[in-house]
Each structure stands twice: as C-alpha cells, then as structure tokens.
Amino acid sequence: SRGNVYFVGVAYGILRRLNICYRTFSLKHNEENK
C-alpha cells in the first residue's frame, strides 16, 4: 500500500502543476483578448 500512497502523491503533484499551467495560460489569454 506504500506504492499506492506514492502514486497518489505523484498524481496529485501532476494535477497541481497542470492546474497552475492552465490558470496562468487562461490569464494570459484573457489579457490578450481585452
């Protein structure tokens, strides 16, 4: 079950990184559209 915890941690880190990238991208996109 330790491997499962590690997998969840990695998946969470990837999701967080994607979320941050998506937020910064959408912010830049909104600035360009104004």
Q: How confident is the model over 1-34, as pLDDT tens digits?
A: 789 999 999 999 999 999 999 999 998 888 887 6
- Hey, what are 22's tokens? 């998506």
Output the furthest CA–CA distance in the chain (Å, rounded).
50
Determine if the pTM surpasses 0.75. no
Q: CA–CA separation, 20 vs 30, rounded Å?
A: 15
Query: How many distinct helices (H) and strands (E) make up the chain?
Result: 1, 0
Q: Residues 7, 12, 17, 19: is their CA dihedral positive or negative?
A: positive
Residue 11 and residue 18: Cα distance in Å, rounded? 11
